[in-house]
Amino acid sequence: MSQGVKERYGRIVIVDPQLKDCKGHNYRYAKGIAEELGLPAVVLSHRNFDGEGDNDIDVRPCLSFDQYNNSAFKDGYRPSFFEKLTRFKDHVFTRLKQDNGIWEKKSPLGTLVNIAVAVGNFLWFFPALFHQLYLLTFGRGTSAHTDLAAMELQAAFERVGLRQGDLLVMQTMLWPTFESLLELKIQANKNYGCDALFIVHEDWTIYNTMYARFSPAKLEKRVLESLPFRRAKIVSTNKPLSDYCQEWCGYYPQVVNEISFPLAEGLPHRNIDDNGKRKVLIPGVYRGDKNFESLEQLIAKVTAEESDVEFCIHESVMARVQLPSQGGCTYAAYSSVNGAYAWLEFLSQFHLILIPYGQEYRHRISGIVHEARLLNIPVVCHSGIADASLLADERCTYGNDGERIAEAIQIAASQATNGTAFKPERAPAIDEVLLDKTGWVEGREKPIAVQVKPAWTRCGTSVVLDTQMDCLVEQGYFVIEIYLKTEPWLLRQDQVDNCYQVMRAGREFSGGMAVRVLLKNVTLARLLSYMYRLARKRIRAFFERENIHSTWCDPDVELVDYFKKNRIELALVNHIFNDGFARKNIPAQKFICETHDVQINQLLLRRPELKDRYDSELDYELQLLKSYDAVVNLNRIEHKMIQQVVGEKAHFIPPPIKSRPMKRRYRSIQALLENESQFTDFLSLPDRLDLLIIADGHPANIKSVEGFLNDVFPELQQGITLGLVGTIGKHIKLPRESKGRIFVFGYVENLANIYDFTKVMVLPDIAGEGIPIKTNEVLALGVPFVATSHALRAFSGDELRTNGVLSADTPACFARKLTALLRDTSIWKAQREGINRLTGVYSWARYMEGWKTVLPATAEKKSISRSEMFIKKESNLESQG
């Protein structure tokens, strides 16, 4: 151990919620870290930790969250005692009404039981009524989620007294553990003063995480600088993962050498029983059916060509797989082995180790490979995974479907005793990485901004709001996102699941810091007060009602306490109907409203009865905007109208036109729809659509799409096909003659590369306010399109004319342009140069410069060129997940 590490740190605190016993790699790795650094260690493990093992380290069982499939954002739902009692009642009553071994349903006793159940259900009505009255009187409390990981980590850190001079080590993947650590900043409301080292073993795309499209490019500013520690550093245990991060977004975690354990006991000698068989260990207790299928396929390949192999497989795996009965190969089972040294002794008796994982492990080194390297036990694995990067001979790898596996086993077995299985190069040891200043990111006390958003899962507005958050982060803010939903909080599981979807969709691209999704906590007092104000006509406008309702969303106690104890520099309020909540709950120094559009104009599409009150509604909206320190709008015409009332506080900042990273690609539109939608009618679906419209059920979209279907589509040739993506299909009625030509796909979870299967995009807007973000997305992707002038309203007439972007505003013109594009692709090629010039004007840098004039100055100002470069890379490179 380096003397410098001992001088710098007094103790190691290791966090590993997957550590449940002394039999697996997690225990051996934690033990190895403690012994290699030579410091006193405390290990925070799973609460069900079984402590039977060798040379026990100080393990504190206290965690229960699963960092590989973190459900922290769905743990806000806690059934009340009454709800649990109701469930038990329903279960008992249901069983009583069923046939059983004591009575039949139609027997006299069964009839008597049915009568008793009916009476019981009737009597249950009264306690249920009183319970609802109780909830209405006192409310259901906050709907803010409970981040289980953050709460458990806070309690554990307090219990062990985490402090300055400690080294916190977390075995993790990139997400979602960091999300909980940012929430810990709210829960604990302090900086622990220690250093935090994150040892990343794998690629986050393997697991069920909401951040499959989140780029590590944002780790430094968004996460590492904002954690509640003195400084933080990420290292990886394999070079392929670090190379992947470098290629994708320019972030390169240092690679740390595997931990050489157990140092005290030394290493056992190889002890292979020479019985004429090649002894092959297939380690692991697998999680998914895919692993079992891969194993069955590999063994079948070997047994077809080899007869002198003895496979040793974990007993739980042998119970699940179907092993070939033909051939001369034999099979043995092993159970879990207690202790690090005993495990290495067990490994030493095999000729080689077979890793049965496929390409999903391309950025992950299996723990067993590090252990095999200690003893020079050859390894056979897939050529496309990270394990292969350590092997000296590439012939010890197999291809897809087990190609060359028999040959690989023969070659690896020949290396069993000569110690040439692995490359001699080794990464730096953990103490070297700790002392190396490279990669350490100092924690910063950043100014705090709160962004109040509507809880819409995916639409044009959410794209703009995500971009605004990116801007706040780049300007040096610690951002707390608050999503407000309009529905009452009813303590239902489906509401919690929906809140999870809001966070997942709203943060999938931009990531985030702390987050809340709040529903209205309706109480009798609030209802009576609201009804009184209505009766006395003290509510001046419809949007004032919305603002009153927003005040019924209650933040949790921890967030309120955080607001009280910290200076909130900025509240960014998206849409004026969230003004009431923001003014009541956020003690900000500066309030900025981003209007997106003039709300009364949007509201008239849903509530035409407000047309008679238009002037008073508009006046209320403008006066409310006037009360803000700054007002941002995206539409030129609306900006000029707002500026007449607000004055110099009004700012026009159009959003940047940039494509977003693609989570996955599909080979066909059929495969895409099978995986991402509920669409099932594939028989008549062509391989490529002529036209595509993407729209939700907004009244403006309904009017626009109906206009296209009634006036333009009949003018097109009979063979032309059209796809409708989004909830728009629920709101329009298609004529019978369109069958086989118009395909309603419904909601598509991930659009992926759907544009690859479309010849021309249709942008038929004839109604709507603000700007159509879907037009920007089509422009960013560079796909052919035909649009109305209303769909291009984000741009001035001069911009469109200068760049040769022409609209189609009559049905005949629209149909003519569509027909021309479908017949002759060279027309679009001629237009591309002008489109590229137009989109180039609306850059991320220009957007950032616009917001700099609005946002309060922060202490930390950095050049945006590096971030802009990463964002550009992130947009152009697709995840291989």
Question: d(Cα 115, Cα 117) in Å, to the nearest integer?
Answer: 5
What tokens were used for 221?
A: 């500013």
3-state secondary structure of 334: strand
Among 270, 497, 221, 241, which Cα is nearest to 390's?
241
Residue-wise pLDDT tens digits, 436-470: 998 899 999 899 999 998 887 555 666 777 778 88
SS3 state at 744:
strand
> What does the alpha-carbon distance between residue 108 and residue 92 come to, in Å, rounded to a whole number?
20
Whether the per-residue pLDDT at 557 is higher than 90: the answer is yes
Sign of the CA dihedral with 839 first, then 844, 848, and 849 last: negative
The residues pairing with 785 across neighbouring beta strands, listed in sequence order, are 761
Q: Kindly write down the DSSP assignment for every residue of 259-304, as one continuous string.
A: P---TTT--PPP----SSSEEEEE-----SHHHHHHHHHHHHHHHH
Nearest to 791 by CA among 816, 825, 812, 814: 814
CA angle 192/196/198 to nearest 5° reads 145
434: its two tokens: 């700790």
Phi-psi region of 769 (alpha: psi -120 to 50; beta: other; left: phi over 0): beta
Helix/strand number for the chain, H first, E second: 30, 26
Concatenating the DSSP letter of every residue in 748-811 gives: -S--TTGGGGEEEEEE---S-SS--HHHHHHHHHT--EEE-TTTTTTS-HHHHHHTT-----SH
pTM above 0.75, yes or no: yes
DSSP letter at 500? H
Average pLDDT of the chain to the nearest whole number: 84
598-603 mean pLDDT? 84
For residue 732, the tally of other CB atoms under 10 A from its CB is 17
- Pairing mode, strands 231-236 and 441-442: antiparallel
Report the pLDDT value the prediction gives residue 101, as an integer from 0 to 100: 66
DSSP 655: P
Higher local confidence (pLDDT), 830 or 166: 166
Q: Which of 367, 363, 593 is nearest to 468 (CA)?
A: 593
Q: 66 or 578: whose pLDDT is higher?
A: 578
pLDDT per residue as tens digits for the range 266-324: 778 888 877 778 899 988 765 555 567 778 888 888 888 877 889 999 888 888 888 88
3-class DSSP state of 215? coil
Residue among 469, 447, 693 nearest 588 (CA): 447
pLDDT band per the 50, 70, 90 thresholds, residue 518: very high
Backbone angles phi, psi at 629, to 5 degrees: -75, -25
Q: Tell which wins on pLDDT, 599 or 232.
A: 232
* pLDDT, mean of residues 503-528: 78
Could you tell me the maximum CA-CA distance found in the chain, to the nearest angstrom? 96
CA-CA distance, 281 to 372, in Å (whole number)?
11
- Please, are residues 360 and 387 in contact by the beta-carbon 8 Å criterion? no
Encoded tokens for 110:
């069964």
Residue 737 has pLDDT above 70, yes or no: yes
DSSP-assigned states of every residue in 697-718: S-HHHHHHHHHIIIIIGGGS-T
